[in-house]
Amino acid sequence: MNELRTILGDVVTRLLTDLVSKDLLESAERGEWPAALWQAVEENGLTLPLVPESKGGAGGTWGDAFVVIRAAGRHAVPLPLAETIVGSWLLSGAGLDAPSGPLTIAPARREDTLRLVRAGAGWRLSGSAARVPWGGAAHHVVVVAEAEGRPMVALAARGAAVTRDQNLAREPRDTLVFDGSPVVAAAPAARGVPASAVWLYGALARSAQIAGGRAHGRGRHRGGQRVPRRRPWRRRLRDRRRQGAGRRGGRRRRVDRPSDSRRHRLHVRARAAVRDAAPLVVARRVRRRGRLGGRARTRGRRARRRRAVAASDGALNEDSRTEAFP
């Protein structure tokens, strides 16, 4: 990791450590939008790491975005930060400006189809998309759809009809319905970006979040003090650590090379690799912390989040095999 990413990681970690509290997480589970946290994240430029500087972003790489998304996963940030990062990158690649405020991306499932049809000088969007992350809270939706024989990126106001739902981590996973809705802007996708970009790059972002959740599970503390590991558990922990470590190097290489000719296959591989490791991370977390007492709600919340993130490829939920964002 270069010096710039180290500095970025320190800034993100300090910010999230100060602002993401137990009370904030509990209020988010009740459906309250953490406006102050979003404002701080946006003001510090964490939502636009992949947008060129000429468009108001940081002009970073996917490696820089990995640092931000990984930290968000580690701190269980109840915001569509990964979705905003991916959405703003898709918009900037298509030559469109990324608006302020939270974004989400759609469709999140392969079986959902959104239709983009030209209407005079503009475009209209039709169809429904289920399990859209923070679909009801996001100000805009970034859609990638096939139109006139090529992938198009469209920026739309959220659907005319919103059906609220949640995932296992009690995060919003809403259904959006568009009925010939006019879009704010639309343009051909950047070269090399396929119509399945939401699913592919969503999988890549989720792999970074799982990495952050795994990092959080490493520590073992009680009363603010680190608790030494007990000998009977060391062998089991070592076995699980080896499996996670074996995937970590490949995951980072795949994030750093998103424009490789095999990128689509690598994205899915990265997602599948960390998906397989996630149940072991949860099991290790329970073994190491389950006997310490206290903090039961916090442990349960973070374990639910890791399971929800892992569930998208069917590792823990067969009904969500094709979701980019569980």
pTM: 0.78
Partnered with residue 146 across adjacent β-strands are 151
Q: pLDDT at position 110, please?
A: 87
As a whole number of angstroms, the distance between CA 302 and CA 291 comes to 16
Residue appearing with tokens 């503390």? 221
What's the Cα-to-Cα distance from 141 to each of 98, 135, 138, 210, rounded to whole Å?
A: 11, 8, 7, 24
**Neighbour-count burial of 87, counting CB atoms closer than 10 A to its CB (0-12 exposed, 13-18 middle, 19+ buried):** buried
Q: pLDDT at position 287, please?
A: 56
Q: What is the pLDDT along the chain (326 residues), one digit of tens a residue?
A: 577 788 889 999 999 999 999 999 999 999 999 999 999 999 999 999 999 999 999 999 999 999 999 999 999 999 999 999 999 999 999 999 999 999 999 999 989 999 999 999 999 999 999 999 999 999 999 999 999 999 999 999 877 799 999 998 899 999 999 999 999 999 999 999 999 999 889 888 988 998 887 665 555 544 445 555 555 455 666 666 666 655 555 555 555 555 544 555 555 566 556 556 556 555 655 555 554 444 445 555 666 665 566 555 433 333 444 565 56
Q: What is the distance between the terminal CA atoms of the chain, rounded to a whole angstrom? A: 29
